[in-house]
A and B are shown apart, each in its own frame.
Chain A
Amino acid sequence: MFSIKRGQSSSIIPGFGLSIGITLTMLSLLVLIPLLSVLLTLSGTTFEVFWKTVTDTQIIATYKVTFSCALAASLVNLIFGIMLAWVLVRYEFPCKRILDGLIELPFALPTAVAGITLTTLYSDKGWIGSLFDKIGVKISYTTTGITIAMIFIGIPFIVRCIQPVLEKLDRQYEEAAFVLGASRPRTFFKVILPEIVPAALSGFGLAFARCIGEYGSVVFIAGNIPYKTQITPLIIMNKLEQFNYAAATSVALVMIIFAFVILFLINSLQSWISRIARG
């Protein structure tokens, strides 16, 4: 499967065998075989048992919570991500470099730390939570809290996908549109937006996949009330604590399938859009 293409063997650079060998060995040992153990573990269970486990009402509720919160968070991040990328690429203002550097904070900050600080900040005694508490809105231990934690971890994905595209974008087209009499919003929606849509989509997909799988930053602020604020990764954790390995693995398989479907959809959508853009 991984043999050098015939006719392409013009490659005189040495080391193909060694590097591909090490790559495949490590990939198999550290990622693929461990992942296949999910299927291996489930090979003993019948489909009925599997289906019954993963469609339990409590688990269905976690899918709903996880999906709706991840979707809401990724949409918020899509809007702010485009805005942030735009501001960081097009405008000059004081402290811009600091703002730019801070975008990656959610990557660098351990998720557990993010989890406990967000919980504290948005609880009814926290700086922001107490403000909302006065008008009777609770954030920590509700789906709003979960969404906020997911917004936090998703910020860098969309900004970092759009930024390079905006940097490369030729300003001539905008100027042309502007000179031809298009209004600023129209220039943005008709000229700039189509250029950044593929990048925005892949950022959206990455952020969405990350939000669905996220555990550390979400689990503290969620409060984990069954049927209300439990997320799917937590179910895997709970089942493991009860030594119910089959159930944990079944839910894991569902999550793996979801992740692949999301990536596949985003990839197809992206290629579809770029086909349309090319005409």
Chain B
Amino acid sequence: MRRVILSKAGPDGPRRDNNMRPSIIKWTLISLCVLFIVIMLILPLATVIVYALRQGWETFRDAVLDEYAVKALKLTLLSAVLAVSVNTFFGLFASWAITKFHFRGKQILTTLIDIPFSISPVIGGLVFILIFGRIGWAYPFLTAHGVKIVFAVPGIVLATIFVTFPFVSRELIPLMQSQGKEEEEAAALMGASGFHIYRKITLPHIKWGLLYGVILCSARAIGEFGAVSVVSGHLRGKTNTLPLHVEILFNEFNLTAACAVSSILVFLAVVILILRNIAEFRVKKETR
């Protein structure tokens, strides 16, 4: 109401009101947001780097090239590659089934796929202990055949798969839904085989979305801590992933080494963020 009266008061009134206040609001909001991001996100990143290098380059190098740190890095990458491959395989088939066909129970299926998203990673590790651990129903069979899953590498891979299960399919399903299925139907009518349709029509349309999902999935798989911590058994050099190695160093009050090893993970995270931004930019193009 006030503004209506103002506009009657004179031609300058509303225009000044329009230009002055928004810019104050705008810059207040921007500075609040920047402050929030600096305190919550940038300062923690800076802390890692500064603490990692505070005892000099030599200590940093020793911590990063430490035998156990290198082994942990290898295990982390191995389990991440395996988990991402399995979940990508799943994501490709699940998104095809869900977006190209009508069937009963579709809603339930998508809800079930998203379960690992909403429950604690610690539970993601616990469930495998309950199956393959000493009290698990698969334990007698496994010991009879000399297979070790829990407190060994397979358990770590399984827990990582569980926690990152929905990542790829979640990216692909909305994207493929928005693109419809007319082109695939046309190709099928003309007699193209399923594999041919997928390779020539679907895949080119979703490749950036797929990459985006794979990137998110890798990020989570590399950094997974809770689930892996439950099933790992913390054997140095054998079942220790990089995040678990960071935990051990931190608990030994070796903050510099912990931050030095963390900086490898920070580096990976930043690379992932940059790739993610490129992929996201391309996904927006794909949707259009």
Q: Which residues of A approach B to under 8 Å, CB–CB?
A: 1-5, 8, 11-16, 18-20, 22-24, 26-27, 30-35, 37-38, 40-41, 80, 83-84, 86-88, 91, 93, 97, 99-118, 120-121, 126-128, 148, 151-152, 155, 181, 183-184, 206, 209-210, 212-216, 220, 232-233, 236-237, 240, 245, 248-249, 252, 255-256, 259-260, 262-263
CB-defined contacts of A120 to chain B, threshold 8 Å: 47, 51, 255, 259
A23-B98, A83-B33 known, 11 other contacts, Cβ within 8 Å: A8-B102, A16-B103, A30-B162, A31-B116, A35-B115, A83-B29, A109-B269, A110-B224, A112-B262, A113-B262, A113-B265
- Find out whether the CB atom of A255 lies under 8 angstroms from the CB atom of B226: no
- Find out whether the CB atom of A102 lies under 8 angstroms from the CB atom of B37: yes
CB-defined contacts of B103 to chain A, threshold 8 Å: 2-5, 16, 20
- Find out whether the CB atom of B105 lies under 8 angstroms from the CB atom of A1: yes
Considering the chains assembled together, what is the distance between the CA atoms of A184 and B19 in angstroms?
Answer: 12
Q: Identify which of residues 229-280 in chain B touch chain A, using a CB-to-CB cut-off of 8 Å.
A: 229-230, 242-244, 246-247, 250, 255, 258-259, 262, 265-266, 269-270, 272-274, 276-277
CB-defined contacts of A115 to chain B, threshold 8 Å: 225
B216 within 8 A of A: yes
CB-defined contacts of A121 to chain B, threshold 8 Å: 43-44, 47
- Find out whether the CB atom of A118 lies under 8 angstroms from the CB atom of B44: yes
Consensus secondary structure, chain B interface: helix
- Find out whether the CB atom of B118 lies under 8 angstroms from the CB atom of A23: no
Considering the chains assembled together, what is the distance between the CA atoms of A24 and B97 in angstroms?
Answer: 10
B53 within 8 A of A: no
B197 within 8 A of A: yes
Considering the chains assembled together, what is the distance between the CA atoms of A102 and B42 in angstroms?
Answer: 9
- Find out whether the CB atom of B104 lies under 8 angstroms from the CB atom of A256: no
Nearest B residue (CB) for A85: B33
Q: Binary interface profile of B, 187-230, with partner A (CB < 8 Å = 1, else 0)?
A: 01100011001100000000000000000100110111110011
Considering the chains assembled together, what is the distance between the CA atoms of A13 and B198 in angstroms?
Answer: 10
Sampled A-B contacts (10; CB under 8 Å): A15-B198, A20-B101, A30-B90, A31-B116, A31-B162, A102-B273, A112-B244, A220-B247, A237-B230, A245-B129
Contact of A91 among B29, B89, B197, B219 (CB under 8 A): B29
Contact of B229 among A3, A103, A116, A237 (CB under 8 A): A237
B109 within 8 A of A: yes
Considering the chains assembled together, what is the distance between the CA atoms of A183 and B30 in angstroms?
Answer: 21
B184 within 8 A of A: yes
Q: Identify which of residues 38-86 in chain B touch chain A, using a CB-to-CB cut-off of 8 Å.
A: 39-45, 47-48, 51, 86
- Least Cβ–Cβ distance between B137 and chain A, in angstroms: 7
CB-defined contacts of A2 to chain B, threshold 8 Å: 103-105, 109
- Find out whether the CB atom of A22 lies under 8 angstroms from the CB atom of B93: yes
Closest 7 CB pairs of A and B: A110-B223, A213-B120, A216-B225, A215-B226, A34-B127, A14-B194, A19-B97
User: A91-B29, A107-B216 given as contacts; is B93 within 8 A of A117 (CB)?
Assistant: no
Considering the chains assembled together, what is the distance between the CA atoms of A236 and B124 in angstroms?
Answer: 11
User: A20-B103, A23-B94, A236-B126 given as contacts; is B4 within 8 A of A181 (CB)?
Assistant: yes
